[in-house]
Amino acid sequence: MRRVGVLSLCVAGAVAGPLAAQAAGSQSGFAGASLGAAAWAVTPDDAVCHTELELVSRSGAIAPIAFVSDGEHVALRFTKSGAPTEAFLPIRVDGKPFSNLVQREGDEGLALMNLSDETLAALRHGKTLQIAWLGDEAASTSLAGAGQGFADLRACGAQVMGQRRARDSQAENDRLRQQAEARARAVADEQLRTAKAQTAAAEAERDRVAAEAQRVRAQADQLAAQAEESRQRTLAEQQRVSAQQSYYGYPPGYYPPQQQAQPQPTPYYYPRYYYPR
């Protein structure tokens, strides 16, 4: 039996709105009840299309159901208090049972029966649908017009699902584009930060080199000043010597000999004579 994939995920959005109107009046007995032709009005939702039907019991109680389709699958949706998480239940088409898997959906009491191809074929060509487990007694409805109704339901579901996939694809493309733009911005920001860091490092190195060059220039200027000062002292000393030579009449470049110190005489020590007694 084929399971409904996307249909079971999207069908909860199709719950809004009344499933059926109230019955016009009660009927005297199930055997004599007249089952009117179902109105196969197909309504599109976000990702599926659905059509609402009313099953009537012998006592006149109404059990609303809906057939939903995403274009690929068709399911029977119903609401029953205390519905199990999963079950394998039958429905009867012209008295013949067709069992299908039932899965409970998110809302309280909401359940979904995934219809097999065999069940769908029977519904399209059958005359009466009967379900015994919806309430305290079996309920039935006419399947007149079901062939065209299921065809319209699947066509509507296919179109709605196609539009849903297009929206999802566009949203995914937008998400991927935004992610790509975010990554590109992150790369650009990182490159900008790297460039700024490199520029700051280059400026710091340039400032360090400039400071070192300034220090070397200052040291060279200091040495040059010291050399100039020494030269000026030497020049002043030479000018003083020249002036002194000119004053005493010495020729330029003449230096008077230095007077040598006279040797001091060696002291004479008189001997002491010994006179014996």
Question: Looking at the domain assignment, is residue 260 inside a domain?
Answer: no
Domain membership flag for residue 129:
yes
For the segment 219-265, what is each residue's pLDDT rounded down to a tens digit? 999 999 999 889 888 888 888 877 877 776 666 655 566 555 566 67
Pull the structure tokens for residue 113: 């029966």
Q: What is the pLDDT of residue 277?
A: 58
Is residue 128 within a helix (H) or strand (E), and if so which, with residue range?
A: strand 128-131
For the whole model, what pTM was predicted?
A: 0.56
Tally of structural domains, the chain: 1
**At 155, is the pLDDT very low, low, confident or very high (cuts 50, 70, 90)?**
very high
Is residue 65 within 8 Å of 53, Cβ to Cβ? yes
Residue 182 lies in a domain: no
Range of the domain at 51: 6-166
The H or E element spanning position 142 is strand 139-142
Lowest-pLDDT choice from 173-177, 193-197, 198-202, 271-275:
271-275
Residue 106 pLDDT more than 70? yes
Task: Please report whether residue 53 resides in a domain.
Answer: yes
- Asked whether residue 92 is assigned to any structural domain, the reply reads yes
CATH of the domain at 119: 2.60.40
Domain-located, residue 157: yes
Percent of the chain with pLDDT over 70: 74
In a domain, 152, yes or no: yes
Q: Please say if the pLDDT value at position 57 is more than 60.
A: yes
Single out the residue of 222, 160, 198 nearest to residue 13, CA to CA: 160
Distance CA 141, CA 43 (A): 20
Q: What per-residue string of b and e applies to 85-110 under the rule 16 or more CB within 10 Å gives b?
A: eeeebebbbeeeebebbbbbbeeeeb
Residue 243 within any structural domain of the chain:
no
C-beta of residue 123 within 8 angstroms of C-beta of residue 149: no
Inform me whether the pLDDT recorded for 19 exceeds 70.
no
> Which backbone phi and psi does 241 adopt, to 5 degrees?
-65, -45
